[in-house]
Structure 1
């Protein structure tokens, strides 16, 4: 397969793309499947860069288009199953114990997440395949709650098949010009990552302030108890 070398810019993304190209040159579409499986396990790996390369390779005759789609979707399923297994190994009881020992996480957080997943688990697994980072992490609570494995696999394959096919076809139809699409995808991905970073920051700030608020409330209650005063109701 002949492609424009991207590693010359010295970026890790360029190096990664060249590595995936080399892998596909050696073992064909199986290499793309392995790369996508690793992308599920290590979210910073961009499927948005790997998948179009598989489409470009298929366009140049290295292998069939259907092989690229099948093997990358299989790679998505393998990666998701590995994280599902991690969640199943952790289990709800062990996860609660871990949360109880962490400074900014509480058992209540785990219980709320479990309740949310029980309501929206199916949609979360399917739609999560279209969202960076979330695409990988959603498999863990599915394993923790032991979502029926056939259902999890079906939803994962359905969402991954759509996502993979779109980007493989971009590489197939656009050829070396797929980088134009990648620029827009990078913007969308950076927006999602930025939103996640902001949410995590807000979460940490609120959790750090909560003990102070709780101490203030306890002191106020103790003071009221000593003076015999009854706090005014905010509902008056």
Structure 2
């Protein structure tokens, strides 16, 4: 079934859109795959970084404005994210600029963080500038990690062309497993606080 999938065509046709929309929402997995695709010359690294930066920045801007206008009503309803909300609130109080830059690198804070920052009353211009800088650094780090992972795999396996689909599926499965383990740990920690 999978041997008939032309991954080169799919990535060449939809790869940048996948990177953009994937990074608009969450992004690390699709960004690592985009970096690996760039290493295999299926995509180009700089456009991957550019589209990822744009998607990540726009996604966080939308969340910021959601927090600015609806945070007072929306945040109290996010009971499962309360630990993340408290953590971001503490970060903003102590390090407002650093929190804008760093929140996208902290697991479990990427979606709720910009909403909390928006609700905090931080200047929209300040958020936008720091958000843009953070998005570019974030995209460069994760796309670069994917690129160098492709380099390491090629060193170990030789020509990766026959392994492209299994590698992509393996990265996706690994990302899902890590997310599930972290979710289970967070849920367990919420049930049994110290």
Structure 2 partner of 1:167? 142
- Retained in 2: the 8 A contact 1:32–1:50? yes
Distance change >3 Å, CA 157–CA 182, structure 1 → 2: farther
How much has 1:141 moved relative to structure 2? Answer: 1.0
Counterpart of 1:117 (choices 88, 92, 97) is 92
1:152 pairs with 2:131: no
Structure 2 partner of 1:197? 187
The structure showing larger relative contact order (alpha-carbon pairs under 8 Å, at least 6 residues apart) is 2
Distance change >3 Å, CA 195–CA 161, structure 1 → 2: farther
Rg comparison, structure with higher value: 1
1:85 pairs with 2:65: yes
- Retained in 1: the 8 A contact 2:67–2:118? yes
How much has 1:138 moved relative to structure 2? Answer: 0.3
CA RMSD of aligned residues (A): 4.0
The aligned length equals: 170
Structure 2 partner of 1:60? 40
- Retained in 1: the 8 A contact 2:88–2:99? no
How much has 1:137 moved relative to structure 2? Answer: 0.9
What is the TM-score with the length of structure 1 in the denominator?
A: 0.55
Counterpart Cα distance in 2 of 1:111 and 1:132: 14
Counterpart Cα distance in 2 of 1:115 and 1:48: 25
- Retained in 2: the 8 A contact 1:77–1:157? yes
